[in-house]
Structure 1
Amino acid sequence: MTPSKRFALVAGETSGDLLAGLLLGGVRQRWPDLQSFGIGGAQMAAQGFNALWSSEKLAVRGYVEVLRHYREIVNIRSQLQQRLLTTQRPDVFIGVDAPDFNLDLEANLKADGVRTVHFVCPSIWAWRAERVEKIRRSADHVLCIFPFEPELLAQHGIAATYVGHPLANVIPLVPDRAAARAKLGLREDDTVVAILPGSRASEVQYHARAFFEAAALLLRARPGMRFVVPAVPALRERIEADARAVGLGEALSVIPGQSHTVLAACDVTLIASGTATLEAALFKRPMVIAYNMNWVTYQIMRRKHLQPWIGLPNILCGEFAVPELVQHAMTPQALSQAVLDWLDAPEKIKALEQRFTTLHHTLQRDTAQLATDAIEQVLES
């Protein structure tokens, strides 16, 4: 009989919770009596995970924004580290994304003999290349979701495995748009724009109002257009308040979660940069990527950025396959025009769908099996 294992995990936000939940589903097939605990969310809890703290506690992005929550976050990490080195010492610690929180924690655990795995290679190929040294100190093994990453890490003496992107196995190659629309109460002939302002409070603060003002301009240009927002439940009230302030009325629906259903149903999406843009690409949907943040944070990040793109679909395609409107360029007028440009270009949409289908095949691997095999090798080393 396979002996029971104790895994500690930390996932720092909604996307990390989703990735960790998919990972735990595969790991539990190898170790049915697995005990898993740490910091996580609803997707992890569905796999039997014991969340000592909610992943929402770590859902903060940007230098200035982190400073406001710094004391609480450091206190959580200190308490968790103390548990993991004493009363709840795990067989392995798996940090899921959230590198600013996880890498320091992993380094301290590794120094005390706890095996460590980092799931999702930090984007050292996009920005903060100096972080590679911290990865080497912190992780016994890195699970990579993009095919070019293991070779890059190997150049720095870091063991890594390409496991594919879990979402590529969850999202169908050919999404069922009709079924998604029926589920959301949308007609087949509706023109539908999915609005995804982000999963963090700070993202909603910087994006929602401009996104909804863009929707109002679109509605004037194309009466009868429908807008759907899949909101993180904790942020739904704030999103609805922003929508009411713009006066979109019945043209806009805010629903709890169901981002995949909304992306499957839409014609085009207006979306904040992040993991959701890759989900939109896997649903083969044209998109307008936007991002705004605190001015100081933007100035710091701009100087550290190594590529001309911020959106994952463009990074993976190596070109501006979809438009990006960042910071001062993210005006309601520019956003609405970029959406209209897609709606008026069916041939361009068809070519993008083919491009995204190729990308989908590249990212599609048996992620749970490959990740579990790599974790087992770490445990046996």
Structure 2
Amino acid sequence: MAVTTGPRLALVAGEASGDLLGGLLLAGLRQRWPQLQAGGIAGPRMQAQGCASWWPQERLSVFGYVDALQRLPELLRIRRQLGDRLLAERPAAFIGIDAPDFNFGLETRLRAGGLKTIHFVCPSIWAWRGERVVKLKAAADHVLCLFPFEPALLQQHGVAATFVGHPLADAIQLEVPRAAARTALGLAEAATVVALLPGSRRSEITHIAPRLAAAAVLMRRARPGLRFVLPVAPGLRDLVAPIVARHGAGADIQLLDGQSHAALAACDVTLVASGTAALEAALFKRPMVITYHLAWLNWRRMRRMAYQPWFGLPNILSGDFVVPELIQDAATPDALAREGLAWLDDAPRCAALVRRFDDLHLSLRQNTAQKATDAIAQVLQG
């Protein structure tokens, strides 16, 4: 099928953050090619843009090395079967959205079989596991980069790349709709609101949600009027609700079905798991405490591979500890509560943070869907 009438593309996103990026990307692709056909492994946002999901996205969601090893036979089987199908059907290109441990091997096989491959999201080789650039070079014809410093780094290794900005920077308004978000969530304008974001994967939530819920109890004890909201990713209420009931009794934590953006727009401060949600919090110009906790073996391995002192994206992109990070053993309920309350007592610090995050937002706001679509079109025509 000719590109101008709508190509067939295959895409794989391994978790909720990849699905978010993929949904925004597909919306841009459909602006150029309304007859686009897409299939692969997709979450609800990508499916809403017409991408058929041949396996449930949750099957690819793993947390750390221990979880990955336990799931390895299933993951390898899915990757093999998907590769067989794509080599037989011959889409115009394959787009792997993040999930490098799954996508790199698939992309390498497809590329060797004559298919064009694009990787969306440069792996954080500038932060840890820099050796992955060798696999990336073998896997991808082109890399779409979220951050401005990444293409030059990749080009040093012979990898073609384009900075397309971050689609979340386009999707999130520069001016935060705080009042509208509070109205939508039933929160009073005068209330002091704390958003708790423990992540979107089951294994992640089991490590982080108990700490956030317990911190909420301590914060509520110090300030009885505080309100707490906790967005729950689709399909995870059965996991989150018992954790909140057990560890957050007395904090009156309001569980939301999704609505993480509304929670961030409405809140005064957030306790947030490191990852895409922390970047979203920065784009909403929110004071935050970044936290993370892994299984002991996973933590030891990750710590040995780290190149930078920062863990969360807002700090990495700022090149400074602009917000506190409480990682692993430091991620105690007492510490989380203390750092969260500290933001509420320091208006000048909050105002300075907003200025930093305004600059960050503007640097990432690049009309990502258009730039990514232009880069993909060049690959398809090459």
Aligned to 1:7: 9
Residues 163 and 370, structure 1, Cα contact 8 Å, conserved in 2: yes
Q: Deviations over 1:108-146 (max 9, x none)?
A: 100110000000000000000011111110000000000
SS in 2 for 1:129: coil
- Aligned ranges 1:24-39 → 2 under 5 Å: 24-39=26-41
Q: Deviations over 1:42-86 (max 9, x none)?
A: 100111110101221111120011112111111111110010011
C-alpha distance in 1, partners of 2:142/2:356?
A: 31
Q: Deviations over 1:16-60 (max 9, x none)?
A: 001000000111121111110000111001111101012211111
Aligned to 1:181: 182
Q: Sequence identity, in percent?
A: 58
C-alpha distance in 1, partners of 2:90/2:109?
A: 13
Aligned to 2:368: 367
Aligned to 1:165: 166
Cα displacement (A) at 1:205: 0.6
Q: Deviations over 1:334-370 (max 9, x none)?
A: 0000001111111100000010000000000111111
1:69 lines up with 2:71 in the alignment: yes
- Aligned ranges 1:73-222 → 2 under 5 Å: 73-86=75-88, 88-222=89-223
For these two proteins, the number of residue pairs brought into alignment is 380
Q: Which amino acid aligns with 2:66?
A: V
C-alpha distance in 1, partners of 2:255/2:242?
A: 11
Q: Which amino acid aligns with 1:78?
A: R
Q: Which amino acid aligns with 1:276?
A: A
When structure 1 is superposed on structure 2, of 245-254 and 89-98 the one drifting more is 245-254
C-alpha distance in 2, partners of 1:28/1:242?
A: 40
- Aligned ranges 1:251-290 → 2 under 5 Å: 251-290=252-291
SS in 1 for 2:187: coil
Cα displacement (A) at 1:4: 2.9
Following superposition, which runs of at least 4 residues in structure 1 exceed 4 angstroms of deviation? none
Cα displacement (A) at 1:247: 4.6
Residues 225 and 251, structure 1, Cα contact 8 Å, conserved in 2: no
Residues 196 and 229, structure 2, Cα contact 8 Å, conserved in 1: yes
Q: Which amino acid aligns with 2:287?
A: P
Aligned to 1:352: 353
C-alpha distance in 2, partners of 1:345/1:247?
A: 26
Residues 289 and 323, structure 1, Cα contact 8 Å, conserved in 2: yes
1:299 lines up with 2:317 in the alignment: no
Residues 42 and 57, structure 2, Cα contact 8 Å, conserved in 1: yes
Aligned to 1:308: 309
SS in 1 for 2:5: coil
Residues 228 and 253, structure 1, Cα contact 8 Å, conserved in 2: yes
C-alpha distance in 1, partners of 2:111/2:64?
A: 27
C-alpha distance in 1, partners of 2:249/2:363?
A: 39
Q: Which amino acid aligns with 1:292?
A: H
Q: Which amino acid aligns with 1:322?
A: V
Residues 281 and 288, structure 2, Cα contact 8 Å, conserved in 1: yes
Q: Which amino acid aligns with 1:102?
A: N
When structure 1 is superposed on structure 2, of 153-162 and 236-245 the one drifting more is 236-245
1:58 to 36, 57, 60: 60
User: Quick one: structure 1 residues 140 and 21, their matched pair in 2 at CA, closer, same or farther if it must change by over 3 Å?
Assistant: same
C-alpha distance in 2, partners of 1:44/1:371?
A: 16
RMSD: 1.0
Residues 8 and 92, structure 1, Cα contact 8 Å, conserved in 2: yes
Q: TM-score, normalised by structure 2?
A: 0.98
List gaps (5 residues or longer) in structure 1: none
